[in-house]
Amino acid sequence: MPLKYGAPGQRITLGAEQSGTTVRLTVQDEGPGIPESERDRIFEPYARLDHDQVSERTGSGLGLAVVRQIAEACKGRVWVEAAPGRGARAVMELQAAPTMEPFAATPEIA
């Protein structure tokens, strides 16, 4: 599948980790990055970076606004930061589901 941003052959790295009661999901790319001054604005509906508005890239700018709404509805948060080296990292932080005690199936349940 072609990538919308970044050079051909770049890698997209997905990550997930849990620390205590928090789960953090990440998507990291090797693209041009997002200027720090634009990082909050890209989560607004219909927002696109200036250089993307005059490019061949299509889109309405709703994707990240929806991501933020989902994160907030789940009592979480989402942000974008610089990736180590080059690119951007999108981070979604959510509360982990409570763990359940294991149980043995009984004939009534099975």
What is the CATH class of 13-90?
alpha beta
Average pLDDT of the chain is 81
User: What is this structure's pTM?
Assistant: 0.74
Quote the CA–CA distance of 24 and 70 in Å, as a whole number.
14
Query: 104: which residues sit within 8 A by CB, 6+ positions away?
Result: none
Task: Please tell me the distance from the alpha carbon of residue 102 to that of residue 11, in angstroms, as a whole number.
Answer: 39
**Tens place of pLDDT per residue across the chain (110 aa):** 556 666 778 889 999 999 989 999 999 998 888 889 989 888 888 776 655 544 455 566 688 899 999 999 999 999 999 998 889 999 999 998 887 666 666 666 54
Select from 10, 9, 12 the least CA-distant residue to 28. 12
* pLDDT for position 45: 82
Burial-class residue 17 by CB neighbours within 10 Å (0-12, 13-18, 19+): exposed
Q: Where are the domains of the chain?
A: 13-90
Helical ranges in 54-90 per DSSP H: 63-73
